[in-house]
Amino acid sequence: MRIDLHTHSTASDGTEPPSGVVESAARAGLDVVALTDHDTTSGWVEALAAGERLGVRVVPGMEVSCLVRGVSVHLLSYWQDPADAALGGMLDASRTSRRTRARRMVERLTADTGLRWDDVLEHVHGQATIGRPHIADALVAAGIVGDRDEAFATLLSGSSPYFVPHTAPDPLEAITLVRAAGGVPVLAHPAASKRGSCVGDAEVEAMVESGLAGLEVDHRDHSDAERRHLRDLARSLDLLVTGSSDYHGTGKRNLLGENTTDPEVLEQLHARAGAGGGAPASTGGEVRGA
């Protein structure tokens, strides 16, 4: 049983549509794949339908952008009610801020590179959550950089003069809202230091008090030493340990199934889903008509 609990589609900054991610998962020999687009559940219906067609169990999820002390924190959420008003309001605010921020980054880039906002919009599918990868794709198409990796290492890096941050909720607030919507929160790549500063152990402990259920330990951005530390931390805080690819289609090197999650852990996560984060979900996670 091969389980990958972190992937992105064109509903945010992946390069394959939700059904394409599930098709790729089937080809990669995965039994279970979670769709975790940034700050949106808009890919769920398509992904769940594809999962049914292809015999792949699709776990509906998302990756919530959070910010604490200026440190970017990514929170995975699984099985939350996509119609929950409070959580939906928080996500709407993040997506709006992401769009404003992307426009401001492009304004800064226009003077020096000639890149325009319309060039970026060509790479954004419908109402997708906008991120730096879309700007990267426009820079690649314009021949300004070779690929997304180069864009992130240069013009779009956090230390670049073109970089603009977006607003995002505090992780404790996000965890509380995810739980209230029946979701199961797992901290994504908690020690991925090459992306920037990370949260400390005391901050993770505070998240546990708000209802954090797990840590994504096995992720390509973590060294062996970081994985050992996170495994110890998970043991001491009674957190579940997951592993996943953070697949973005051709937008990143990450390959489906390169890290996986234990079937037992998936069932323990699922047992925590449901209204208020208490009762087990009765739907089996098969959320429809979202």
Please report, as ranges, the residues that interact with Fe ion according to CB under 5 A: 63, 74, 188, 246
Which residue ranges make up the site for Zn ion (CB under 5 A)? 8, 13
- How far is the C-alpha of 72 from the C-alpha of 132, rounded, in Å? 14
CB of 129 to Zn ion, least distance (A): 9
Position 132 contacts ligand AMP (CB under 6 A): yes
- How far is the C-alpha of 183 from the C-alpha of 44, rounded, in Å? 14
Residue nearest to ligand AMP (CB): 131
CA 73 to chain centre: 10
Helix (H, G, I), strand (E, B) or coil at 258: coil
Nearer to Zn ion, 8 or 134 (CB): 8
Nearer to Fe ion, 144 or 174 (CB): 174
CB of 157 to ligand AMP, least distance (A): 9
CB of 251 to ligand AMP, least distance (A): 4
b/e code 3-31 from CB counts within 10 Å (16+ = b): bbbbbbbbbbbbbbbbbbbbbbbbebebb
Scan residues 213-252 and list those touching ligand AMP (CB under 6 A). Answer: 248, 251-252
Task: Out of 44, 78, 79, 152, point to the residue binding ligand AMP (CB under 6 A).
Answer: 152
Binding partner of residue 219 among Zn ion, ligand AMP, Fe ion, none, CB under 5 to 8 Å per kind? none
Q: β-pairing, 240-243 with 184-187?
A: unpaired
CB of 278 to Zn ion, least distance (A): 30
In this structure, is the dihedral angle defined by the CA atoms of residues 252, 257, 262 and 263, taken in order, positive or negative? Answer: positive
Task: Out of 17, 82, 131, 171, point to the residue binding ligand AMP (CB under 6 A).
Answer: 131
Task: Out of 18, 51, 133, 243, point to the residue binding ligand AMP (CB under 6 A).
Answer: 133
- How far is the C-alpha of 22 from the C-alpha of 28, rounded, in Å? 10
CB of 72 to Zn ion, least distance (A): 12
Task: Out of 148, 189, 219, 222, point to the residue binding ligand AMP (CB under 6 A).
Answer: 148
Point out which span in 19-27, 44-52, 125-133, 263-271 binds ligand AMP (CB under 6 A). 125-133
Helix (H, G, I), strand (E, B) or coil at 46: helix
Choose among 199, 244, 238: nearest CA to 217: 244
CB of 235 to Fe ion, least distance (A): 23
DSSP string, 150-205: HHHHTTTSTTSTT--------HHHHHHHHHHTT-EEEE-STT-GGGS----HHHHH
Residue numbers of the site for ligand AMP (CB under 6 A)?
13, 131-133, 148-149, 152, 248, 251-252
